[in-house]
């Protein structure tokens, strides 16, 4: 029962991180459209959307939303990684002794 709980926590944490990444990318692309940034900035917004809050001319409200998503993203990663560690410890089996 405990093993299944941590497996669900791994999947939930990884899924939450992926969803937050997609939402942050949408906000970052919106910021870049408002500020008329170059094509390279659009590529960087897809790869690391949380850096877009530092673009000159970014609206403060959107930059604050990206900061909050950054915290949520790392919290989701932390849950997924910690759950993965507990799951691997719970499912660990000692190797059979060989003569």
Locate the domains of the chain by residue range: 2-90
Percent of the chain at pLDDT above 90? 47
What is the reported pLDDT for 69? 92
The pLDDT-based confidence of 17 (bands split at 50, 70, 90) is very high
The answer, yes or no, to whether residue 81 has pLDDT greater than 90, is: yes
Cβ(78)–Cβ(62) under 8 Å? no
Cβ(32)–Cβ(48) under 8 Å? no
How much is the average pLDDT of 86-91?
Answer: 93
- Nearby residues of 57 by Cβ (< 8 Å), 6 or more positions away: 34, 35
């Amino acid at each position: 029962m405990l093993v299944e709980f941590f497996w669900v926590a791994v999947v939930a944490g990884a899924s939450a991180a992926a969803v937050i990444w997609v939402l942050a990318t949408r906000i970052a692309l919106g910021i870049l459209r408002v500020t008329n940034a170059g094509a390279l900035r659009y590529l960087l917004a897809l790869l690391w959307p949380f850096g877009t809050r530092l673009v000159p001319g970014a609206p403060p409200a959107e930059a604050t939303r990206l900061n909050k998503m950054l915290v949520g993203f790392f919290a989701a990663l932390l849950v997924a990684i910690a759950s993965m560690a507990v799951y691997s410890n719970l499912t660990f089996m000692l190797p059979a002794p060989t003569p």
